[in-house]
Amino acid sequence: MIFGKHINRYYLKYSPWLLLGLLALIAVDYLQLLTPRLYQMVINGMNDGYVMYEGVKTVFDMDFLLERICMPMVIIIVCICIGRFLWRLCIFGSAIKTSTALRNRMFDHARGLSTQYYQVNKVGNLMSLFTNDLDTVEECFGSGFLMLFDAIFLGSLAIMKMWNMDRLLTCFALVPMALLLACSTIVGKHLGKKWRKRQAAFSSLSDFSQESFSGIAVIKAFVKESKELLAFKGLNKENEKANIEFTRTVTLFRIMVMLFVESVICVILGYGGYLVWKGSFNAGQLVEFIGYFTTIVWPIMAVSELIDLTSRGKASLGRISELLDAKVDVCDREDVANLTSPKGEIEFRGLSFRYPDGEYDVLKDVSFTINAGENVGIVGKTGCGKTTIVDLILRTYNVPDGSIYIDGKDVNSLSIRSVRDACAYVPQDNFLFSDTIENNIAFGVDAHEPDGVRYAAAMADVDENISAFSEGYATVLGERGVTVSGGQKQRISIARALMRDSAILILDDSVSAVDTKTERAILANLRATRAGKTTILIAHRISTIENMDKIIFIEDGCVEAIGSHAELYASCSAYRKMVELQRLEEEGGDEI
């Protein structure tokens, strides 16, 4: 059984079920302890021809056997079965419900964590929290609860019965068991360490596999399959080693438990046999005593297993708690307002920005204004800070007060959701889901008409390509379906953003994989459909943004110049140099 701030609430929430399960468990324990007495009566009855029944000497005949032994035995067995079914349903059902609720909370919390969190914590590791660790916590919640209470009730009831029969024999039976309990506590701690090592090795393995499968194209292109296999084998070996070490310790522990139990049975048989020989115990009583002892073997084993399970559960809950306790650092302040009827004006006022784990300012004293309805291009060399500007508009990171305004309001005074809602974004990686093209395009809207999807696709110049697929818009993409080219992916992503018809559209290097003719067609469509709405186009190709209303030219995180293409070309030497360089590249290519 484990406790912790993230799990305690479920004991309370499911307390009616757990209580019902507990009652059924106590009833089963009580019934279980009635059978050794029946064995005693059968043995004594067969030996002596009579039995002591409710303090009365009664003849042991067929009627007695059927009425007082077999019938009660059948009733006990049926009741035990019903009781076991009931406690399993209540206790294990609560455990399953707990892990489902915990999984939901984990997913919900993970959703709110910053991009920074995902840069530090790899997907493989996160996946093992949702699978292995959660399974262990579920087991610890259900089986842990069962083992603890079963050990308490069944153990104490059986010990009481044994104590009433013969105190010395009970001491002989229990002293080694107490020793076993002490050993179990020490081994339990050791097992916890081994379990953590095992989980860490499994996490590394799943991290590596996840990354290998994601980067399979690069691995193949660089013919590095053997290198990857070697690295995988290394990690797999580590995983095997950790598993073997854990299994070895568990096995040794179980053998030790069995050894203790068997030796105690030997002691009972030896001393009990002596008592029978002496005449202070009869054969039936010895069998009854052994019956009680075998009943407490399970609770004692359960205690030792509980120690092992608890240490594993604690380790897993600890890892899960790290996720649940991870601070959601980008969140709304109190009393934020919603950005209603967004117009699309954006202003940066002297913003300097450094990534949370960064060592230098990526943006330095950046100031510019994008008026509502303007078409703006942001251009500059790779790494100059263009994507960072977009990330900050979308509130992916925190920004200082008074540095970014949307429609004249400080972004920190606006709810993150409403700011993001006002924007449609085409990210650089153009991630598409393993779903139909239609659902991918309609991802950002709550309801859609097929015509709307088709129109957005036409505006992104991808309708023809999609219609050429045998299943058209119902074509499934990704792992379960077809693979589309980089250019098609970019255009489907543009269509997805266009579907939202937001006040602000941001395209981050989103037409880099399409040819110039297609680029021109998309840009012309954007101008037509987005008239009066703000559109921000990030590009490193000047030709992409030269016809925009305004161009913001970034160099090394600073705004170098702002103006139309002609203005910048005339007034900014760095911009002119870039234009010339790109023109030469287009004309001569390799010779530059």
Please give the residue ranges that form the binding site for ligand ADP (CB under 6 A). Answer: 119, 355, 358, 362, 380, 382-388
Q: For residues 138 and 102, give the distance between their C-alpha atoms in angstroms, rounded to a whole number.
A: 10
For the chain, first and last CA: distance in Å? 69
Q: Are 176 and 34 in contact (CB under 8 A)?
A: no
Q: Are 129 and 34 in contact (CB under 8 A)?
A: no
Q: For residues 229 and 212, give the distance between their C-alpha atoms in angstroms, rounded to a whole number.
A: 10
* Position 169, amino acid: L
Task: Give me 15's structure tokens.
Answer: 């307390």
**Of 328, 325, 326, 321, the residue nearest 133 (C-alpha):** 321
Relative orientation angle of helices 93-112 and 283-325, to the nearest 10 degrees: 10
Q: For residues 242 and 229, give the distance between their C-alpha atoms in angstroms, rounded to a whole number.
A: 20
Q: For residues 72 and 66, give the distance between their C-alpha atoms in angstroms, rounded to a whole number.
A: 9
Helix (H, G, I), strand (E, B) or coil at 57: strand
Decide whether 22 or 536 has the Cβ nearer to ligand ADP.
Answer: 536
Q: For residues 530 and 502, give the distance between their C-alpha atoms in angstroms, rounded to a whole number.
A: 9
Rounded to a whole number of angstroms, the minimum distance from the CB of residue 368 to ligand ADP is 15
Rounded to a whole number of angstroms, the minimum distance from the CB of residue 385 to ligand ADP is 4
Which distant-in-sequence residues (6+ apart) come within 8 Å of 285 by Cβ?
Answer: 40, 44, 165, 276
Q: For residues 440 and 489, give the distance between their C-alpha atoms in angstroms, rounded to a whole number.
A: 11
**Distances from the Cα of 476 to the Cαs of 104, 210, 432, 481, 486, in angstroms?**
27, 22, 11, 5, 16
Which distant-in-sequence residues (6+ apart) come within 8 Å of 133 by Cβ?
Answer: 199, 316, 317, 319, 320
Q: Is the dihedral angle over the CA atoms 224, 225, 228, 229 positive or is it negative?
A: negative
Q: Is the dihedral angle over the CA atoms 494, 495, 496, 502 positive or is it negative?
A: positive
- Which DSSP string do the residues of 322-359 spell out, in sequence order? HHHHS---S-PPTT-B---S----EEEEEEEE--TT-S
Q: How far is CA 567 from the centre of its chain?
A: 52
Instruction: Provide the Cα torsion 273, 277, 283, 285; round to 10°.
Output: -80
Task: Give me 279's structure tokens.
Answer: 């005449």
Rounded to a whole number of angstroms, the minimum distance from the CB of residue 560 to ligand ADP is 13
Helix (H, G, I), strand (E, B) or coil at 365: strand
Q: For residues 31 and 77, give the distance between their C-alpha atoms in angstroms, rounded to a whole number.
A: 8
